[in-house]
Structure 1
Amino acid sequence: MIKTPSPSYSLIMRVELLTKPGMLGKVTSAIGKAGGDIGAVDLVGFKKDITIRDITVSVADLPMGETVVEQVMRIKGVKVVSVTDRTFMIHQGGKIEIKNKIPLHSREDLSMAYTPGVARISTAIHENRERVYELTIKKNTIAIVTDGSAVLGLGDIGPEAAMPVMEGKAMLFKEFGGVDAFPICLNTKDPKEIVSVVKSISPGFGGINLEDISAPRCFEIESQLRKELNIPVFHDDQHGTAVVVLAGLINALRLVGKRFEDIRVVVSGLGAAGIASIQLLLSSGVRQIVGCDRAGILYRGRKENMNPIKEKIAEKTNPEGIRGTLSNAIKGADVFIGLSQPGVITGGDIKKMAKNPIVFAMANPDPEIMPEEAGRYARVVATGRSDYPNQINNVLCFPGLFRGVLDCGAREIKEEMLLAAANAIASIVTEKEISEDYIIPSVLNRKVPERVAQAVREAAIETGVARRG
């Protein structure tokens, strides 16, 4: 497989070059031959007969980065002074901070923001606890709660190692939704303890975003918190994924001229995202869904690799009672949704699907089938990656969704709000724009969170869970 350089593996090499013609060209040629992609060449300074430059290089992985540096070091008249990993550099000291919204320049400022004036605010909230939304940060603040048990593709890495991911999530909430979010990384995997801790800290937050908690515990934790809290609780790995999958599928079906009630969908992967996607697709009118995991096709009465959630899903899916492998399931299917692991299907499998097959291969970073191979047989291909068309990315959902629920003070997130979010995302792609390579808007499209927030807010009001209009 060809390895493509990415900014996520980006280096700054400081080099000293002999000041004579052709030296910089030798360096850039060596970088290119080693597979690196040069982003910038900056002049830093001079010494006697020496030119000092910073060269920014993107590589595909750490071994390629080491090769690039080794090749440059071999050039006579070139000295590599330092190598800086840009991704590590931006994480120094963390990526988020707290800033004051009002100045503290005088005694008057202090007397209003803190004692004695703040006592009057506390008294007002004590007399009417709903005023906490008006007079504190609760109105616009959520907690991002994790135990670090299912982080990205890294697995169970613990709460400390999960922190950078949660900080990044907080940045996305702020940038795209204007929502203040704070990481809460818990040193426990006990569902009861997690529920207890979140309940205890909930008075300070307007919502709870559960993140990277492994299945099946994530289902129990979310369900219990939704019962016991009067603020919205949302597990993004489940519902954020499901919403964006549904949004992409709405437009893919528009393109191929098929209806939800007529298609057969195969879902590979029955973890948090897979289960939630199946549930939302069922609510959208899909009648034939077949789920698969490492034990093969899910069916009623299966004993291997089961849990209570899978048992419930088995009752609602696979109406024909198909058994066997993923390859058996995919034969004749209209849609394949991969939320599992790399390389589980082949071009030959897609060739056996129904006419105009739709393939969402979303395992990251390596999908269930590479888009180049899938594209030979599928009408529409989507992945979770940013370097291919049709990226299915949760950032299209969660910033706008929480913007909407916070704006109306929603007490919970109903399924109608998830469906509204999916349709809002899909609606960004117009009839004139839709194509095989454009079924889902860009994650950088600022219209998306605005439209999602509006749709979610309206759905919350219609379903009666909004505190205010």
Structure 2
Amino acid sequence: MSSDIRLDALQYHSQPRPGKVETLPCKPCFSQRDLTLAYSPGVAEPCLRIKEDPSQSALYTGRSNLVGVVTNGTAVLGLGNIGPDAAKPVMEGKGVLFKVFADIDVFDIELNVKEPEKLIETIKTMEPTFGAINLEDIKAPECFMVEERLREEMGIPVFHDDQHGTAVISGAALLNAAELTGRKLEDMKVVVVGAGAAGISCAKFYMTLGVRREHIYMFDSKGLIHTGRIDLHATKAQFSQSEDCSLEEALTGADVFLG
């Protein structure tokens, strides 16, 4: 391995075989009887049991331990809208994290679908395959509607990592920091730079923990979110301040900087 992390990363992903994940059977498949049980005619018996009671799929298939990590590649890490093909290494990486840290199996699903309604309908069709859906790297504000609709319309858990995963872990850090420094959350002034899925979800979670909405100063690429702007989506507008100010001014007296 070289000293250049970029070259090391390319070698890591391409050798000795491309990618980071593979699919392996978890039952013996060595004898003719094994194959008879795994496929025809033995497989018909669990199929019939599940037909009678669909909940039995959790007993006779791997569905209950299988998560679909789904993206359309419109907001990938710090790379932005790089598309579903270029997003696949990240989704494979998320599958590695699920497996290594929680022994949960993952199929990564990269969809060439940008329209929110079409994306929702496409993901809904996957419900018979998965025990849960982990949405990943879908740009704001579309991601909010997609996640909300899927949670309402699907019978399995739906989690948007960019929103909920980031909010949960940063919220835990906020609680720890408040305890260590003797601050009260309701008195904290919070400055947030970045009004995408993560920033907005973190700010909303901080409010449930006790931070006051009027104490949150949120900035996007055009500056502070305030009532004088006419370019704001409703998800951003909920954090509008009454008057505009610079980032430097907002940071004066701030207790928390979230970037």
Q: State if a TM-score over 0.5 links the two structures.
A: yes
Match in the other structure for 1:138: 63
Amino acid corresponding to residue 59 of structure 1 in structure 2: D
Distance 1:232 1:109 in 2: 34
Give, in angstroms, the shift of residue 331 of structure 1: 1.6
Match in the other structure for 1:95: 20
Q: TM-score, normalised by structure 2?
A: 0.93
Give, in angstroms, the shift of residue 264 of structure 1: 1.4
| Runs ≥4 residues deviating over 6 A | none
Give, in angstroms, the shift of residue 88 of structure 1: 1.6
Q: Give the strand-richer structure, 1 or 2.
A: 1
Change in CA separation of 1:157 and 1:333 when aligned onto 2, cut-off 3 Å: same
Match of 2:205 among 280, 283, 286: 280
Q: Give the helix-richer structure, 1 or 2.
A: 2
CA deviation map 1:387-421 (0-9, x unaligned): xxxxxxxxxxxxxxxxxxxxxxxxxxxxxxxxxxx
Q: Could you tell me which runs of 5 or more consecutive residues in structure 1 were left unpaired when the two chains were aligned.
A: 1-11, 13-56, 62-84, 339-469
2:228 touches 2:243 (CA, 8 Å); kept in 1? no
Give, in angstroms, the shift of residue 135 of structure 1: 1.4
Distance 2:237 2:49 in 1: 49
Match of 1:164 among 81, 89, 97: 89
Pair 1:249-2:198 in alignment: no
Q: CA RMSD in A?
A: 1.5
Match in the other structure for 1:335: 256
Match in the other structure for 1:326: 247
Match in the other structure for 1:235: 160
Pair 1:58-2:3 in alignment: yes
2:217 touches 2:239 (CA, 8 Å); kept in 1? no
CA deviation map 1:5-29 (0-9, x unaligned): xxxxxxx4xxxxxxxxxxxxxxxxx
Task: Map 1:42-441 to 2 at 5 A.
Answer: 57-59=2-4, 85-92=7-14, 93-287=18-212, 288-299=215-226, 301-314=227-240, 318=241, 321-338=242-259
Change in CA separation of 1:280 and 1:122 when aligned onto 2, cut-off 3 Å: same
Aligned residue pairs, count: 254
SS in 2 for 1:58: coil
1:263 touches 1:333 (CA, 8 Å); kept in 2? yes
1:194 touches 1:221 (CA, 8 Å); kept in 2? yes
CA deviation map 1:411-469 (0-9, x unaligned): xxxxxxxxxxxxxxxxxxxxxxxxxxxxxxxxxxxxxxxxxxxxxxxxxxxxxxxxxxx
SS in 2 for 1:204: coil
CA deviation map 1:209-266 (0-9, x unaligned): 1111111111111111111101111111111111111111111112111111221111
1:237 touches 1:272 (CA, 8 Å); kept in 2? yes
Amino acid corresponding to residue 272 of structure 1 in structure 2: A
Same amino acid, percent of matched pairs: 44
1:322 touches 1:329 (CA, 8 Å); kept in 2? no
Distance 1:226 1:291 in 2: 27
Amino acid corresponding to residue 70 of structure 2 in structure 1: V
SS in 2 for 1:203: coil
1:142 touches 1:180 (CA, 8 Å); kept in 2? yes
SS in 1 for 2:168: helix
Amino acid corresponding to residue 58 of structure 1 in structure 2: S
Distance 2:8 2:218 in 1: 41
1:144 touches 1:184 (CA, 8 Å); kept in 2? yes
Amino acid corresponding to residue 164 of structure 1 in structure 2: P
Distance 1:88 1:289 in 2: 40
1:295 touches 1:304 (CA, 8 Å); kept in 2? no
More relative contact order, 1 or 2 (CA 8 Å, 6+ apart): 2
Q: Could you tell me which runs of 5 or more consecutive residues in structure 2 were left unpaired when the two chains were aligned.
A: none
Change in CA separation of 1:60 and 1:102 when aligned onto 2, cut-off 3 Å: closer
Amino acid corresponding to residue 233 of structure 2 in structure 1: N
2:71 touches 2:111 (CA, 8 Å); kept in 1? yes
Give, in angstroms, the shift of residue 60 of structure 1: 6.5
Amino acid corresponding to residue 219 of structure 2 in structure 1: C
